[in-house]
Amino acid sequence: MAKWYELGPFTVFDVETTGFSPRNDRMVELAALRIDRDGTETEFHTLIHPGRPIPACASRVHHITDAMVQDAPHFPRIGHSFLQFISGTTLVAHNARFDLGFLQESLNRGGLPLWKGNTMDTLLLSRRVYPEIASRKLQDLRVLLDLPDPSYGTGQAHRAGADVLWTKELLKHLLECILSRREEQQ
């Protein structure tokens, strides 16, 4: 049977933001894990200065404060590096519409080329593999599917780094299910 990562390369990514609107809000954290076809993993992680105060309601969710991003780069300084990092891969996110919306808006504001590559959404993929599951929240799926906690219990939900690791485990599980079903049908 083929290994799930041989279907890649993939870059699993996640963002934390100042709010819900890609047009009006900004990223404060960007994390990614590139998985090449040989299974090699490479990390990308940075806090991002949003150029405005982080609302208290957003900080309560992700626990990122103005003090934490005070010396962080603004997105245009890291945008080109991120585009190089993801080049040639399929971008993967849980609820990709949200994360990709912020990425595209940030690239556009920074005068950088928009992402034109493939994107995969583990939320939509989970519907295909497990149509009977009601909740599609990342943490609910992780618990329900008994996925390993790659952060060894130290990761905090709604921090980009931990969410990337959990999304990678979900992607691995879902692709292995699809590959297994294909093999059974042959």
Per the CB < 8 A criterion, the answer to whether 119 and 96 are in contact is yes
Q: Give yes or no for residue 148 having a pLDDT over 80.
A: no
Q: Give 173's pLDDT tier (boundaries 50, 70, 90).
A: very high
Q: Give 155's pLDDT tier (boundaries 50, 70, 90).
A: low
Six-digit token pair at 8? 């890649």
Which residue bears the tokens 């041989």?
6
CA separation for the pair 9, 32 (Å, rounded): 13
Six-digit token pair at 146? 């008994």
The better pLDDT of the pair 184, 74 is held by 74
- Listed by start position, the domains of the chain span 4-185
Average pLDDT over residues 108-122: 97
CA proximity to 17, closest of 39, 49, 40: 49
Q: Give yes or no for residue 146 having a pLDDT over 90.
A: no
The better pLDDT of the pair 120, 151 is held by 120
Six-digit token pair at 48? 């991002």
Report the pLDDT value the prediction gives residue 151, as an integer from 0 to 100.
61
User: Dihedral of CA 66/68/71/72: which sign?
Assistant: negative
Read off φ and ψ for residue 81, nearest 5 degrees: -60, -40
Give me the residues paired with residue 15 across strands.
Answer: 30
> Which helix (H) or strand (E) segment is 47 a member of?
strand 41-47
CA proximity to 160, closest of 44, 41, 10: 44
Q: Give 185's pLDDT tier (boundaries 50, 70, 90).
A: confident
For every residue of 130-149, DSSP letters joined together read -TT-----HHHHHHHTT---
Report the pLDDT value the prediction gives residue 103, as an integer from 0 to 100.
98
Q: Give 156's pLDDT tier (boundaries 50, 70, 90).
A: low
Tens digits of residue pLDDT in 52-98? 999 999 999 999 999 999 999 999 999 999 999 999 999 999 999 99
Q: Could you give the residue numbers annotated as active site? A: 158
Q: Is the pTM of this model over 0.75?
A: yes
Q: Give yes or no for residue 116 having a pLDDT over 80.
A: yes
Q: Give yes or no for residue 142 having a pLDDT over 90.
A: no
- For residue 174, how many C-alpha atoms fall within 13 Å in the half-sphere facing its CB? 23
The better pLDDT of the pair 5, 186 is held by 5
- Domain 4-185 has what CATH class? alpha beta
Report the pLDDT value the prediction gives residue 184, as an integer from 0 to 100.
84
